[in-house]
Amino acid sequence: MSADKPSNGDQGPPAADKPTQQQLARDYDFVRDLQVGSMLDVKDTASTWCLAEVTELHSDYVRVHYDGWSSKYDEARLWDNSLV
């Protein structure tokens, strides 16, 4: 038996890319409470965190307008952890 692998069927800690039940519940509450006009911190395509306003809500994505930027930079973002 290797010391690196869990024994007795233990799966070890959750994988870093797999959200825990607590994270999923928190994310669900956050998304459920969002509405058009909500302000968010959003990571833009240059990986910079920016203030953005929710302009549209959909079941699989949200459209945001970056505060202080032209509407040509508005983006539709899928619901994922990089959003906020």
pLDDT profile of the chain (84 residues), mean per 10 = 46 55 55 83 87 90 93 87 58
**Fold (CATH) for 36-78:** SH3 type barrels. (2.30.30)
62, exposed or middle or buried, with CB in 10 Å at 0-12, 13-18, 19+?
Answer: buried
Could you tell me where the beta strands, DSSP code E, fall in 1-84? Answer: 39-43, 49-57, 61-66, 75-78
The domain spans of the chain are 36-78
**Residue 5: per-residue pLDDT:** 44
Euclidean distance between the first and the last CA atom of the chain, given in angstroms as a whole number: 42
User: Nearest CA to 52 among 69, 36, 64?
Assistant: 64
Question: CA 20 → CA 12, 16, 65, 83, distances in Å?
Answer: 13, 9, 30, 18
pLDDT at 37: 94
Q: What is the pLDDT of residues 59-82, one digit of tens each?
A: 888 899 999 999 999 999 887 655
Query: pTM here?
Result: 0.61
Please give the pLDDT value at position 6.
44
